[in-house]
Amino acid sequence: MADTESLRQVVHSRAPLSTWFGIVLLFALFGVIVLAVIGPTPRGSDYEETRAKKRTELLKTSREEAEKALTTYGWIDKNKGVARIPIERAMELTVAELAQQKPAPAGPIATPPEAQPAASPAGAPQPGAAPPVASPSGQAPTAASSPAPTSPSPATQPSPIPPSPAPTKTP
């Protein structure tokens, strides 16, 4: 029985201070070894540099292709007979074509029709109208008259200029 009691005391007793100090020292030694191995190596990687170089090369290539497409002749679809021409030449041809055309007169600008008040029941005032005024002779009140427009609206006037023809498509 004495053996079992001594074993229980050993199990339940606190670890000596030297054991804790040894464990802490072991972790510190491991940390120093890790820093010694990792420390002198550079922190950056070549991955970002290679990606930057690839992006630069891709940008340069796409700009060269766009420049080539804008400044050279070439086939878009040879079976259909569609070709591309340099943009400078296309602008020259477009300016020459537009210079030969006679400008068409502009059509009239349509204005929206004026809003007409809806018919209202008898005796109900219309919005925007003056309030009824009683006459001194005792007759029924009447609405104050507002000046009527003297000229018809531009939408009802006949247009002296015919509308311009629709533009024709040119290949």
| CA 99 – CA 92 distance, rounded (Å) | 11
Is 160 among the domain residues? Answer: no
pLDDT in tens, 25-47: 999 999 999 888 877 666 667 88
Helices (H) and strands (E) counted in the chain, each on its own, are 4, 4
CB 142 within 8 A of CB 133: yes
The helix/strand/coil state of 8 is helix
Within a domain: residue 19?
Answer: yes
- For the chain, which residues score pLDDT lower than 50? 141-149, 152, 154-155
Residue 75 lies in a domain: yes
- Tell me whether residue 88 is in a domain: yes
Q: Is the CB of residue 69 less than 8 Å from the CB of residue 85?
A: no
Residue 115 included in any domain: no
Segments forming the whole domain that contains residue 15:
1-42
Distance CA 41, CA 31 (A): 16
Q: Report if residue 111 sits inside a domain.
A: no
CB 159 within 8 A of CB 106: no
Query: What tens digit of pLDDT does each residue of 134-145 get?
Result: 555 555 544 444
Q: How many domains does the chain have?
A: 2
pTM above 0.85, yes or no: no
Cβ pair 153, 113 in contact under 8 A: yes
Quote the pLDDT of residue 107. 86
Q: How far apart are CA 125 and CA 132, in angstroms?
A: 8
pLDDT of residue 106: 86
